[in-house]
Amino acid sequence: MKLYVNDIEKSLLFYEEVIGLKLYKRNMHAVRLNHDQFSLLLASDSTLNENHYFYDRKERGMALN
């Protein structure tokens, strides 16, 4: 599963500490977390270009503050 997030570090903390996923890999713009057969990729929404279908929807959806 891939989710675009505004803040990689805050999102990483949430998915590690609250949900219990384990960090597998990371780079400057994304992190991959795993649990058993489940894998989650968190990617920075700053990587979206204007042609991506999520580009104009950055402020919609759920927010965690």
Alpha-carbon distance of 49 to 62, in angstroms, equals 21
**CA–CA dist 40, 55 (Å, integer):** 20
Judged against a pLDDT cut of 80, whether residue 3 lies above it is answered with yes
Number of structural domains found in the chain: 1
| Residue 58 DSSP SS3 | coil
Report if residue 20 sits inside a domain.
yes
Domain presence at residue 22: yes
Task: Say if residue 26's pLDDT is above 80.
Answer: yes
62 pLDDT more than 70 = no
Q: Is residue 35 part of a domain?
A: yes
pLDDT digits (tens, 9 = 90+) for 5-25: 889 999 999 999 999 999 999
Q: Where residue 8 sits, what CATH number does that domain have? A: 3.10.180.10
Q: Report the chain's mean pLDDT, rounded to a whole number.
A: 84
Range of the domain at 15: 2-45
